[in-house]
């Protein structure tokens, strides 16, 4: 955690935008607040002394069972006290299995993503943000 110039605590977090070879997007269903029960990108808090790259790899392994190669920064968002940096990543190993803060993990097609969005099952502003970043599911 670090403190902004306004003395408002900010929690640095990371997330991953992962597509499979078919163009599906990796999402997790949050098991804890904020957003419990909603679908989001996998990710979480950066631990003290940890790089963003290491945090992305650790969080993906904990939440999805997948090993990833972390790529470039896709974008960042502020959600309350959380400042989230989302990185592109490629799955390079492991088996998809929800764990840690995720109750489910799934590869989601464009049609499935749209249904989740229309059913208000995505965390706030996820669809709009991913559309702006041009990283929606392609399958």
Catalytic residues: 104
DSSP 105-128: EEEE-HHHHHHHHHTT-BPTTHHH
Closest CA to 74 of 54, 89, 61, 64: 89
Q: Can you tell me the distance from the alpha carbon of 69 to that of 93, in angstroms, rounded to the nearest whole number? A: 9
Q: How many CA atoms lie within 13 A of 18 on its CB side?
A: 31
45, 80 in Cβ contact below 8 A?
no
């Amino acid at each position: 955690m670090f403190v902004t110039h306004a003395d408002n605590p900010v929690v640095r977090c990371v997330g991953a935008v992962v597509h499979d070879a078919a163009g599906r997007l990796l999402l997790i269903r949050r098991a804890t607040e904020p957003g419990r029960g909603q679908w989001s990108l996998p990710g979480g808090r950066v631990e003290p002394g940890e790089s963003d790259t290491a945090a992305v790899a650790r969080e993906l392994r904990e939440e999805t069972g997948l090993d990833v190669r972390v790529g470039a920064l896709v974008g960042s968002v502020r959600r309350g006290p959380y400042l989230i940096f989302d990185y592109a990543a490629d799955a390079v190993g492991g088996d998809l299995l929800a764990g840690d803060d995720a109750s489910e993990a799934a590869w989601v097609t464009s049609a499935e993503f749209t249904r989740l969005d229309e059913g208000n099952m995505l965390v706030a502003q996820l669809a709009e943000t991913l559309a702006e970043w041009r990283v929606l599911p392609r399958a």
